[in-house]
Structure 1
Amino acid sequence: MPRIKDSVCANPEGSLIPVGWDSYVQAIYADGPVGFYQFAELLAGSPVTAGSQDPQNLCFDSSAAGNLNRAVPPFANGNFLQYGSAVVANSPSLLVTNGPSNSPGAGNNGGSALFPSTATASLVNIATGGSAQPPILQPTAAITVEGWHRPNVCTTGSVKQVLACYGTDASSLAAYNLYHSGSTASNHVFAFSINIGGTLKTATASLPALVVGATYHAAGTYDGVNVRIYVNGVLQGTTAATGAIAYNALGGYGLALGNDPSLTDANLQGYLDETAIYNYALSATRIAYHYREGSTYLPFIWNH
């Protein structure tokens, strides 16, 4: 009986992808993200505060684009982020495929980021040493933004709790924004918005209402025809839209995770994991496959 990481299976589109500890990462790499943030830089035996081991508090881009652009210190060309001092990096992974212990550093995709309630300290933003607004993270014709989230607190008042946002949302016109919100703590749902010519186009999920402590996979897409939001691999909302994604109202800001970069929206409170950005719209099949790869633990694979 082989170890799971030595086995392979066919994905829904026919190619062979290894099944096991690294299967989720392999699925992401196969789809060619332009940005991929895993929050596992500090591979210690237990979660540690970002500043305690990494003096630059850097969160690296694991995509091929990020690895190709990464330079030696001071990392002048990397598409990296910078941890806020209160973010707990290398927290337990949200991926079930990291194994039953769900421990930090389990496999190449181990770790997540824990965002506390402190707004400015928990922001993850483009580091000063890199491009503040990297063009590679500014797709115009189409886009996908995805990530895993386990909320600890859902705020009231219909404010946005942001997973990933590009540009200031001060006038609710960030270039793109993946978030959840609700008028009460019990009716939060995921949404994905893009800015087209100064008009916000938003797809809001009809279901599910988020439950504190539960883990979710959310993905927002735009294909030039529709904005869509998927939750746990299922399409939950669609809004018609055409035109190019606008980046003319960024306010000098680039990508941020855990809030919009100007701290206009509400701070994310909870865990964020495996955040990826693509310059095209992933198909419904691929999004469902990503969710399956991250949410299904297969301890053994029999070869027949």
Structure 2
Amino acid sequence: MIQYLPFEKPIEALDQRVAELSALPEGTEEARMLATRAERLLADTYARLSPWQRTLVARHPQRPRFEKLVAGLFTDFLPLAGDRVFSEDAAIIGGFARFEGRKVMVIGHVKGEDTPGRLRHNFGMARPEGYRKAIRLMELADRFGLPVVTLVDTPGAFPGVDAEARGQAEAIARSTEACLSLGVPLIAVIIGEGGSGGAVALAAANRVLMMEHAVYSVISPEGCASILWRSGAQAPDAAEAMKVTAADLLKLGVIHRIVYEPQGGAHRDPQEMAKRLTLALRAELDGLATMTPAELQREREEFFLSLG
């Protein structure tokens, strides 16, 4: 059952009425008419989403995240644990997999699907050991000549005292450096929230793809609003000013491609979303396959340095 966002209340009311009428023998025709009206309203609503509304869609609790997308895009996924320094961080998961028969390394943020899962994965906010694990896996992929695909979905790196004490900033910087130094193709996909350096640490890639209703920014709209206006209530204004949407970021040259979502967002049809991502990844991997390690490194560095 779909969970409706605050701006979807008119759509929810129509859908509920359609369900009620569909249960009545004499209400079939009216239900069909209302269903058509609801579909039009859904299309019209999502065609005019504000940056803040897109942020809410990116955070939708039913949005397909790392686990579902890995299951839909890859086969033979073999997760590898630990940073070989301190511990295992469940906020970042990665391992070997196959994409249409092609061996790859998949790494991504994991927010969790329910409350226990979100607590276990720390809402996708990685500590230093998470980024050091990502570095280990990227170096392993480089050694074996495997393309790397990262799925980015985090509000930001974990800001706790323990994380800072273990070198959070250094770990993020070294993860970004590891991305830039790879001699194999690296494709990053912003699938939900791409927040701050915690996202860039896995997204300094040859190709940065972004799902249509994902957001990518240096700080959350709430964080920006609390700094500029001293109030989180101004988050919608901050989202507008920060240019967090895929369309804005494509115009600014921060990303390379938008992967358009099914009508009403990826959470309404995860299988279709996986098909669209498959097509996009196939095209990008094929396009990068002929490049030499030096060309891949140079292209990434030039793109990264051009930002801002």
Q: Decide which structure has greater helix share.
A: 2
Fold conserved (TM > 0.5)? Answer: no
Q: Decide which structure has greater strand share.
A: 1
Bigger RCO (CA 8 Å, 6+ sep): 1
**TM-score, normalised with respect to structure 1:** 0.31
